[in-house]
Structure 1
Amino acid sequence: MSLPKRIIKETERLLADPAPGISATSHEDNLRYFDVIIAGPDQSPFEGGVFRLELFLPEEYPMSPPKVRFLTKIYHPNIDKLGRICLDILKDKWSPALQIRTVLLSIQALLSCPNPDDPLANDVAQHWKDNQDEAIETAKEWTKQHASA
């Protein structure tokens, strides 16, 4: 399978210069499919967690965004039970100028500051709005249960 030069360059950069707390490795049998690991950011409810994600580059990439989802269960208002992520750059704010690295850094930033005003998991967002301290405790519990290294 021949890959566009851009994907090869991005993959090489991810391996040569990984972003702190993030690793992304492409599958040998499908170089458009990546196993991603994101460490829960410090001072977040997800601190200490290790979250597994999958990232897939569709044929239209970079004209259309990569498909990314969490494989590790997470209690977050912008990530649903299926691991889908509500992030503007994965939808209407996508630009071909963005790269895999940018997407992964944005997801890591989303872990640092959940946005219950733009939810994907409405029940979690409501919990976050009604009792933020309790929601953060639940997020910490889920991180211990599902994302411990």
Structure 2
Amino acid sequence: MLRLRKMQKEQKKGGSPQKTVSVAYIRAKRDLQEYEEIPGISISYSESNPMHIKLTVRPTEGYYANGIFHFECQVPEDYPNRAPEFKCLERIYHPNIDLEGHVCLNILRNDWKPTLTLGLVFAGILHLFLHPNPNDPLNKDAANDLSKYPESYEHHVQTSMLGGYVGDLKFDSVWDSHKRRPFY
């Protein structure tokens, strides 16, 4: 905040002709600069636009092991007062991600606090793949499968990750082509 005020004062004094930078821009840039790499997560963004981030999740264990999942993150102009928005780019079978890619993660909704960072949200999204939560679903069919029929859920996850059908819904292949396919 102090840096922002200093930059704004310089602009008023006729200092360097920099464009006005928002608090959200500065905070997002700082979050990304201070981000410590998390195994299974990779991020990319333009230095000139830290408000749009591409996130790749590669779980190494659990139901979604050997999958590659891509997300886009849009940081809102009132960040950190409002949570960033994430969307999964592939159609996947997951209780906390709906078929349009919306993500249900408590820290992106009710539990959001301005003290949380982008890095913590990245870790939270990875956690959804390691420990899907059937008690707070966006995809009720997947949540029902996970809570009542875990073996069926595992089969549906594997089928969907390979780009197959679950019921009458076709899913995107997210299987890491360098990994061995599952046997069932």
1:31 to 47, 50, 60: 50
Alignment of 1:126-137 (within 5 A): 126-137=144-155
TM-superposed CA distance for 1:128, in Å, is 1.9
The reply to whether residue 10 of structure 1 matches residue 31 of structure 2 is yes
2:58 and 2:22 map into 1 onto residues whose CA distance is 29
CA distance in 2, matches of 1:83, 1:28: 26
Post-superposition CA distance 1:89-122 (Å, at most 9, x none): 0001001111111001011111111111211111
Distance in 2 (CA, whole Å) between partners of 1:61 and 1:106 is 18
1:31 CA drift (Å): 2.8
Deviations 1:111-145 (A, max 9, x none): 11111121111111122223111111111222233
Shift, 1:28, TM fit: 5.9
- Unaligned runs of at least 5 residues, structure 2: 1-18, 164-172, 177-184
Q: Which residue of 1 aligns with 2:66?
A: 48
How far, CA to CA, are the matches of 1:147 and 1:13 in structure 2? 29
Question: RCO greater where, 1 or 2, for CA within 8 Å and sep 6 or more?
Answer: 1
Q: Which amino acid aligns with 1:106?
A: G
| 8 Å CA contact 1:73, 1:147 repeated in 2 | no
Other structure's SS at 1:52 match:
strand
Cα distance in 2 between the residues matched to 1:77 and 1:60: 29
Q: CA RMSD in A?
A: 1.7
TM-score of the two chains, using structure 2 as the length reference? 0.73
TM-superposed CA distance for 1:50, in Å, is 0.8
Partner of 1:22: 41
Aligned partners of 2:155, 2:59: CA distance in 1, in Å?
15
TM-score normalised over the length of structure 1: 0.89
Q: CA deviation at 1:19?
A: 1.4
User: Given the alignment of the two structures, is residue 100 of structure 1 paired with residue 127 of structure 2, yes or no?
Assistant: no
Contact 1:78 1:116 in 2 (8 A): yes
Percent identical pairs in the alignment equals 29
